Amino acid sequence: TEETLVLVKPDGVARGLTGAILARIEAKGYSLVDLKLVEPSRDLLARHYAEHEGKPFYEPLLEFMLSGPVVAIRVAGNRVIEGFRSLAGTTDPTTAAPGTIRGDLGRDWGVAVQQNLVHGSDSPESAERELAIWFA
Ligand code: ATP
């Protein structure tokens, strides 16, 4: 069975949406394997977001991710990587489809970074790399 890394980002934790997001993952039928509340270091985030270094939203993204605690979750299930990204919806919460986490619970807050509640690994390679970073 496959595993993915899900993060409830600081906006999701601060708004008290962790439970609602976990409920959607569980209701879909995926298994929670490990879960923790983390205050990530800048170094950890730089490793997690290495592919975005140099992009215009990189610094705002790191500042946002440092703004409060994050919930890191190891989730398992057949095709869970694709399945969680489908549950999350597209990056921009304004246009993410209703029925998705971002589409139902997110919005544009007029800041430099998309505050879109969750992260989910985008490939088996990313999942392996990211799980090693967050669950070392
Ligand atoms: P998805 O792949 O579903 O879009 P993601 O979290 O993997 O979600 P990435 O493209 O890896 O998205 O970008 C990482 C994060 O950086 C996004 O989730 C979002 O918070 C922020 N971000 C991405 N693109 C932009 C952008 N153009 N402007 C502002 N913030 C952005």
Q: Cα–Cα distance between 96 and 32 in angstroms, integer?
A: 25
- Nearest CA to 130 among 87, 70, 86, 78? 70
Helix (H) or strand (E) holding 35: strand 31-38
Dihedral sign for Cα 38, 39, 41, 47, please.
positive
Q: For this structure, is 52 an active site residue?
A: no
Catalytic residue among 24, 48, 74, 119: 119
- Please work out whether the CB of residue 91 comes within 6 Å of at least one atom of ligand 1: yes
Tell me, what's the ipTM?
0.91
Which domains, and CATH codes, for the chain? 2-134 (3.30.70.141)
Cβ of residue 4 lying under 6 Å from some atom of ligand 1: no
Rounded to two decimals, what is the model's pTM?
A: 0.96
Nearest CA to ligand 1 atom 22: 114
Total Cβ atoms within 10 A of residue 26: 12
From CA 19, how far away is CA 135, in angstroms rounded?
Answer: 21
Nearest CA to ligand 1 atom 19: 114
109 Cβ inside 6 Å of ligand 1: no
Per-residue pLDDT band for 135 (boundaries 50, 70, 90) equals very high
In sequence order, the 6+-apart residues with CB closer than 8 A to the CB of 27 are: none
Q: pLDDT tens, 84-133? A: 999 999 999 999 999 999 999 999 999 999 999 999 999 999 999 999 99
